[in-house]
A and B are shown apart, each in its own frame.
Chain A
């Protein structure tokens, strides 16, 4: 038997926000990563509507599951374990995945692991996918996870045993701020790619928007925390004043300057964490990593500071089931017993809990 064949074959389910994801991995190799997004259904609301997302999960789960099994070319009999996101996330959305996972577990008798979504984002980096070089992850690493649902800075010493929350957003997630600013600039949802597109023609130094929680007085208490409601309000006020005085709003400059303010804080704090804690590695994750400027600034600042930067492919950065399966596979390999069947969805599950309801 080859080494790879002895690695656990795990199916992972992810439903914490607006992507229904089912992934199948063997150890750290992705066999299938199928995602059904309800993003288009949220477009006219300008943000993720939890009930709309939950309804979409129920509709998408069966087809997504079947497509993943077909793509991986495996059946339930071949699997060693199941994993599902237990939190954090939107509780009604999480519950669809948890319910489905328990249905699968009881029908098949497979062990089920309820796992942490944020730990999943970190695990995305250990996965080898088609066209993606396999890599050995070195710990400790700092991880910056940024999406429409979360903005977290983590210190990871071990994927399943030692993940520490350094800081997180105290109000909006960064992706949410992109959506809201896009909306007030008259750009469609989702805001991230739109701001990115428009900002290409703009001057990022045109307007100096505030950098949340970076003043010395804030740093004392919120060294690694984020806040994006201030910059969002500042953009709104600036745009209103322009409009009130009858001037046209330079959308490209506003977009570029706003994006610069957000990216500056994100990477500023992440690089500071690397320096402060003497960790020469930074891992990015979450949908906002799709933002071109985030990747650019990360590359520059990490190079300057001698920090090794790691960015998983975008298909593994956005919410997906493969990263959840990856956490499950690690738990299986480490000999951890499955979760008890009575775990619930925990919308604010702390990142220190990689697995819920461990025996």
Chain B
């Protein structure tokens, strides 16, 4: 059983278990209120699932890609939660959770997942199916591009939300495979900084 948090789009928090499935999930789709809602969502899924913090095996966080400010809120909360609870932290690529949902519900073959990157760009990842461990096979991405530069695909999901429950179920599978689960944020863009030299003030 683990706690999963994703704030790469809206804010989603869940408690899931590899055997018993989704025990509780709460999602706020609003893309601006991450810092406000994260505390109540955490408290509510813990209460609803009946999971004690000590019973959790791990904490999983979506590492993006996603708009930075919101993404960091969930990642900071998850990292701090894991430290306080003394649990391992797993990082999951947020798009992978969307791909898992698609394949687990009967989808197959090629898939492109796209999410809003603001500034008229999209974050995208491409998949070919599930591997032998039941994990989405990402063939390219995550990347950020202008909409007309996103590769074509026979099947495409433009997602506006990432489910922490799906992310958590994926993390449960990842945990069993023992694969590396880096917990660094996927910003995909450099900080937006323009270095201007001091301007003249006198004419």
Residues of A whose CB lies within 8 Å of any CB of B are 44-45, 49, 51-52, 54-55, 57-58, 61-62, 65-66, 76, 91-92, 94-108, 112, 180, 183-184, 233, 236-237, 240-241, 341-345
Q: Check if A54 sits within 8 Å of B84, measured CB to CB.
A: no
Q: How far is the CA of A99 from the CA of B69 in the complex (A)?
A: 11
The answer to whether residues A236 and B201 also contact, given A98-B35, A103-B42, A342-B37 and a CB cut-off of 8 A, is yes
- Is B83 in contact with chain A by the CB < 8 A criterion? yes
Q: Distance in Å from the Cβ of B192 to the closest Cβ of chain A? A: 6
The CA-CA distance from A96 to B82 in the complex, in Å, is 15
Can you list 11 A-B contacts with CB-CB less than 8 angstroms, sorted by A residue number? Answer: A55-B68, A57-B76, A58-B185, A95-B73, A99-B76, A100-B77, A100-B80, A103-B81, A104-B84, A112-B39, A240-B200
Complex CA–CA separation, A237 to B43 (angstroms): 57
**A44 to B195, Cβ gap below 8 A?**
yes
Contact of A241 among B37, B80, B198, B202 (CB under 8 A): B202
Cross-chain contact of B34 among A58, A99, A183, A343 (Cβ < 8 A)? A99
Contact A99–B74 (Cβ < 8 Å):
yes
Distance in angstroms from B86 CB to nearest chain A CB is: 9
Task: Say whether B76 contacts A96, CB under 8 Å.
Answer: yes
Q: What total count of A-B pairs have CB within 8 Å?
A: 126
Complex contacts, A65 vs chain B, CB 8 Å: 80, 83
The 7 A-B residue pairs whose C-beta atoms are closest, nearest first, are A341-B39, A103-B80, A103-B77, A102-B39, A99-B76, A99-B73, A103-B81
Q: Is the interface of B mostly helix, strand, loop or mixed?
A: helix
Tell me, rounded to whole Å, the shortest Cβ–Cβ distance linking A52 to chain B.
5
- Quick one: closest A residue to B187, CB to CB? A55
Given contacts A54-B72, A100-B77, contact A76 B84 (CB under 8 A): yes
Complex Cα–Cα for A54 and B40 (A): 23
Which A residue sits closest to B69, measured CB to CB?
A92
Contacting residues, chain B, for A52 (C-beta < 8 A): 191, 193
Q: Given the complex, which residues of B lie within 8 Å of A180, measured CB to CB?
A: 198
Q: Given the known A-B contacts A51-B191, A107-B85, are A92 and B77 also in contact in the complex, defined by CB atoms under 8 Å? A: no
B193 CB to nearest A CB, Å: 5
Scan B8-36; emit 1 where CB is below 8 A from any A CB, else 0. 00000000000000000000000001111
